[in-house]
Structure 1
């Protein structure tokens, strides 16, 4: 059966904003897809989860994020426990530290290479993916519960530091790298250009190198021009065809991540309107003309996700009102 799964991070706004945003969103195709369904399941993540729901869904689908992202970069170590590593900027906000939005870091390859080469001797193994994504091996850190940067961003960093038996070892390593990079010429030059210094690193997404892929279909990731898609996410689409509404298999639409992570719901509304024209209307047309037999939508928020499945037969449920009420967690 020709089927499509569309993953939409941050498609579900906060409950207190959802009614007003839904009233202002002109998306009849999305309303049809959400209302005329054959399956609707709501999932809530655990209160102590340190990654976002769409990241958790992707980790399950790919058999562990670090391993899958490494494969996307053409790296295939046969053993070890690996984490995704990002060079980041940590800033002081009043009386606590905050992890800044890495999408605004604007770290080029030349500067990143210098920082990478400086840091590499302090790790058991440190592998290069690209300027914003590296990988570290830490075989004894399997029990470390590490938060994703988007989950931790903007909050008191003390609440999001890695937790577990090796937390102190991580903190020691992080302090060493912070001292190594502090006032380095790369950062001095960045500040002269009006850019934030790269003063720390963040790690998350731990997985065994040999972790098998749970999802055998290639996963496409759309790359909207208006939104900066993190390279770790783009790497998950390695080997897949270009993301398009008529394609079969899973596809991730990351258009809403910057707005949802940054709580910019005015911009979110505009991005959803664009998705209505570029994705939701073509997806509805594909169901109606039979080129897609079944569509599953994974809509996420910070608290969980909703799985909605529909088909050409389900679209005939005319007694169901066409609305956007399912845009709530």
Structure 2
């Protein structure tokens, strides 16, 4: 019988906002799973890590990083994402980084990385910018590969020691605190400056700005992984990753048929080789980062209806053996487990107290 892990990044509200948000939430299925649990554990997370808690948790859960790992130099996800893009042969050699087109915005006090989701980068724009930048990388002996419009890869064996941060850990932060660090960091910044100047006058950006879209004025590198130390996602124990929403790198980690997953679709899957399914629903990340709380409430209520409610029903009638929740914010994550037996504890009232 399949166990399902439902990961909800940014489902934990900030402590100062929790009382107000929980009063406004109408999420009866989530309340039942949280209130009638069989196990729960909250974990703190190092504030100086270069990934977010859910990114570190997923990397460990899918066995994509050696253990133990602190994530203070980043998360080694590049080669796993490459395989998800059909680039298995190239991923088998060298050290690769994820390269994501980006928009750097400058305020009165500091530059920051804009949310990559706001780029809305399509295939044509992405290909044009990629084709313009590629010779600059290859002149330095750093081959580039196109995986998806917002997901490129660069082989940089001499950058293997760079410490890099995930884009979502950097969004809305002071960019100066999160730039790559290491022996080759100066070389990295020099190349980045050249590409920024190249793209500044590119016709793609003039056309994007005319359409009211942000210019692609930089890129962000992260997720460095070497072939010899990377794991094959196709052989991660008996775990299967499903994704709903989320950035292109997360989509690449899931099998193509599971990149727009639904709860009912996962519950109905008949696969005796799979005993553990991990479903990441990423709809709360953007509003959680931006503190758009009305949007956050609406998104969580939608998740309750379309994910938590079907999983709760499947748990109660025995179609799912166990539902595990992973709820996170920037500085911590919460793991909660519920079973059919736990849901029979009628003396426990459904509640959201664990979110406080």
Q: 1:219 is paired with a residue of what secondary structure?
A: strand
CA distance in structure 1 between the aligned counterparts of 2:79 and 2:355, rounded to whole angstroms: 32
- How many residues align structurally? 323
1:269 counterpart = 2:297: yes
1:220 counterpart = 2:232: no
CA distance in structure 2 between the aligned counterparts of 1:244 and 1:193, rounded to whole angstroms: 33
Aligned pairs (5 A) from 1:136-155: 136-155=154-173
Aligned pairs (5 A) from 1:1-329: 1-62=1-62, 63=64, 64-76=76-88, 77=90, 78-123=92-137, 124-210=142-228, 211-213=230-232, 215-216=236-237, 217-223=239-245, 229-241=246-258, 243-246=261-264, 247=266, 249-328=277-356
Give ranges in structure 1 of 5+ residues lacking alignment: 224-228
1:75 offset after TM fit, Å? 1.0
Indicate how the Cα distance of structure 1 residues 73 and 149 shifts in structure 2: closer, same or farther if over 3 A, else same: same
Alignment correspondent of 2:68? none
TM-score (structure 1 length as normaliser) = 0.93
TM-score (structure 2 length as normaliser) = 0.86
CA distance in structure 2 between the aligned counterparts of 1:301 and 1:136, rounded to whole angstroms: 30
1:240 offset after TM fit, Å? 4.7
CA distance in structure 2 between the aligned counterparts of 1:2 and 1:196, rounded to whole angstroms: 43
CA distance in structure 2 between the aligned counterparts of 1:321 and 1:179, rounded to whole angstroms: 59
CA distance in structure 1 between the aligned counterparts of 2:159 and 2:60, rounded to whole angstroms: 20
In the TM superposition, what whole-angstrom CA distance separates every residue of 1:263-316 from its partner, at most 9, and x where no partner exists? 111111111111111111111111100000111111111112111111111222
In the TM superposition, what whole-angstrom CA distance separates every residue of 1:245-267 from its partner, at most 9, and x where no partner exists? 24261111111111112211111
In the TM superposition, what whole-angstrom CA distance separates every residue of 1:220-242 from its partner, at most 9, and x where no partner exists? 1124xxxxx32222222224546
Indicate how the Cα distance of structure 1 residues 159 and 16 shifts in structure 2: closer, same or farther if over 3 A, else same: same
CA distance in structure 1 between the aligned counterparts of 2:191 and 2:281, rounded to whole angstroms: 35
CA distance in structure 2 between the aligned counterparts of 1:26 and 1:13, rounded to whole angstroms: 15
- Cα root mean square deviation, aligned: 1.7
